[in-house]
Amino acid sequence: MRINEKHTIKNPFSRRKFIFQVSRWGVGSIVLSTMTSLVSCGGTTSTEKADENKMKQKEGKKLGVALVGLGGYSGGQLAPALQETEHCYLAGIVTGSPDKIDEWKNKYKIPEGNIYDYENFDTIKDNPAIDIVYVVLPNSMHAEYTIRAAKAGKHVICEKPMAVTVEDCDRMISACKDAGKMLSIGYRLHFEPYNREMMRLGQEKVYGEIKKMVGENGMGSAGGWRLDKELAGGGPLMDVGIYCIQAMRYVTGMEPIAVSAKEGKKTQPDKYKEVEESLIWQMEFPGNLIAECKTSYSEGMNLLRAEAVNGWFELSPAYGYGGIQGETSEGKMDFEDVNQQALQMDDFAIAVKEERDTPVPGEMGKQDVKILQAIYRAMQTGERIEIT
Ligand code: NAD
């Protein structure tokens, strides 16, 4: 019976065991087989670097991570998660706000020599304590800091959305390749058991062909750089709608062939002068599969649902840091809550040490940006836009 099958999956998902599984499977092995070009950036590392990595692995050393940008996500999620990771740790910070330094330095015991600002950031190349740079800045700054980090000889994790243009994504991928460094995107849900179960149910066609998908992700408010087109690249679609795009890809294991979209009416036109306040869009997949999606900065919503010929499966909420709940047409899913960010960063650290591909590489981020851009084009023109 399927429910029992799920229970047999449930038990291995203690945090420790899940990390182990994640590293053994190379995470997302299901996803890997079907998504586009999942070759990680920088397949060839120099012999010295490889030796260095092997040495660290042999010595069981944790890799040092430097967070660039000490805002809400770094402070609220990533830094705490880096206290739980087993293969990497918070070694350094890069910030433009001197007033934040003391608190971070004391709280996380960060040595003076591992603290950088945006001007002297490039000298991080001389610091062997930093192996990985994690870019957690406003979206349009991702490209510059990823490229600078790669040029400084560091592996990079970059937050979503990878960048605001496909051209920037290409430049980031090339910079990492040229430097022989790995690049991954902060797609934490690939390490989260409920979302992984959705991938399994969809890609293995456990309930048969999927006929329809629904994705909704919105939040009740947004401010600061998120309302600035130049820094954010767009509104809620770039910020939270991207989770629906990702989910449609990883549940179906397919790429959309076309999109259409319509901007929602602005209830606060003064606030949302530069970016959309809400948006609904449709993604067409091969086999007449349609995904209906919506996103908003003025309405909380959080749903991922798949309807297949022999049943349905869904998560609600689907995309949070915790508290995800899942159900199928046969009953409730039951997995443990995990620290998604700790698993995500540990998996990348293991990938670096073992010189294996990351399941969430730059190429995956680039494909999402391509789809985001197509959705905006569809919204602006009112036309159905094919994704080539
Ligand atoms: P935030 O506003 O809380 O922090 C942004 C940081 O960037 C601040 O430290 C700020 O000082 C710094 N910064 C540097 N230059 C800036 C400028 N010109 N304007 C504004 N801030 C500037 O934002 P956040 O929520 O931490 O988001 C940062 C990135 O992380 C974004 O790309 C976002 O999409 C991503 N994010 C990802 C998740 C996730 O679940 N994966 C969650 C939240 C945010």
Q: Is 116 helix (H, G, I), strand (E, B) or coil?
A: strand
Position 52 scores a pLDDT of 59
Ligand 1 in contact with 72 (CB < 6 A)? yes
Domains 62-188 and 190-337+360-386 share a fold: no
157, 158, 159, 227: residue to mutate for ligand 1 pocket, most atoms within 8 A of CB: 159
Please give the C-alpha separations between residue 243 and each of 20, 187, 192, 295, in angstroms, as whole numbers.
25, 9, 13, 10
- The amino acid present at 249, given as its one-letter code, is R
Residue ranges of alpha helices (H) inside the chain are 2-10, 15-25, 29-34, 47-58, 72-73, 79-81, 101-108, 142-151, 166-179, 193-203, 229-232, 236, 242-252, 340-354, 362-381
- Whether 160 is a known active-site residue: answer yes
Q: Give domain 190-337+360-386's CATH number out of 3.40.50.300, 3.30.750.80, 3.30.360.10, 3.40.50.170.
A: 3.30.360.10
pLDDT at 28: 38
Q: Whose CA is nearest to atom 6 of ligand 1?
A: 71
Ligand 1 atom nearest 321 alpha carbon: 40
pLDDT for position 33: 36
Query: Which pLDDT value is given to residue 53?
Result: 52
Q: What is the pTM of this model?
A: 0.89
Instruction: Give me the amino acid identity at 292.
Output: E
Question: Which residue, judged by its Cα, is nearest atom 42 of ligand 1?
Answer: 73
How far, in Å, CA of 244 to CA of 240, rounded?
A: 8
188 lines ligand 1 (CB under 6 A): yes
Catalytic residue among 49, 154, 160, 366: 160
Looking at residue 59, what is its pLDDT?
61
Instruction: State the Cα–Cα distance between residues 317 and 304, nearest whole angstrom.
Output: 8
Tokens of 52: 């260095």
All structural domains of the chain with their residue ranges: 62-188, 190-337+360-386
Please give the distance, rounded to the nearest whole angstrom, from the Cα atom of residue 241 to the centre of ligand 1: 16
186 lines ligand 1 (CB under 6 A): yes
Q: Given the CA of residue 75, which atom of ligand 1 is nearest to it? A: 26
Ligand 1 neighbourhood includes 73 CB (under 6 angstroms): yes
Longest dimension (CA), the chain: 59
Question: Residue 141 C-alpha to ligand 1 middle, in angstroms?
Answer: 10
Looking at this protein, which amino acid is placed at residue 132?
I
Residue-level pLDDT at 56? 58
The CA 244 to ligand 1 mean position distance, Å, reads 20
Distance, in Å, from the CA atom of 244 to the CA atom of 255, rounded to the nearest integer, reads 13
Structural contact between residues 62 and 342, judged by C-beta atoms closer than 8 angstroms: no
Reply yes or no on domain 62-188 having CATH 3.90.600.10: no
Residue nearest to atom 19 of ligand 1 (CA): 225
Q: Where does residue 22 fall: left (phi above 0), alpha (psi -120 to 50 degrees), or beta otherwise? A: alpha
Give me the catalytic one of 243, 250, 297, 319.
243
Q: For residue 325, how far is its CA from the centre of ligand 1 (angstroms)?
A: 27
pLDDT by residue (tens digit) across 62-77? 999 999 999 999 999 9
Residue 76 in contact with ligand 1 by CB distance below 6 A: no
CB 192 near ligand 1, within 6 Å: no
Non-local (6+) Cβ contacts of 220 within 8 A are 297, 298, 299, 300
CA-nearest residue for atom 35, ligand 1, is 159
Q: Which residues pair with 361 in a beta bridge?
A: 184
Residue pointed to by tokens 């040092």: 64
Beta carbons within 8 Å of 254's beta carbon, 6+ residues apart: 34, 285, 286, 287, 289
pLDDT tens string, the chain, 388 residues long: the values are 232 333 222 333 333 334 334 443 444 333 333 333 322 333 334 445 545 554 555 467 999 999 999 999 999 999 999 999 999 999 999 999 999 999 999 999 999 999 999 999 999 999 999 999 999 999 999 999 999 999 999 999 999 999 999 999 999 999 999 999 999 999 999 999 999 999 999 999 999 999 999 999 999 999 999 999 999 999 999 999 999 999 999 999 999 999 999 999 999 999 999 999 999 999 999 999 999 999 999 999 999 999 999 999 999 999 999 999 999 999 999 999 999 999 999 999 999 999 999 999 999 999 999 999 999 999 999 999 999 9
Centre of ligand 1 to C-alpha 229, Å, is 14
Q: Is the dihedral of CA 345, 347, 348, 350 positive or negative?
A: positive
> Cα–Cα–Cα angle for 101, 106, 108, nearest 5°?
95
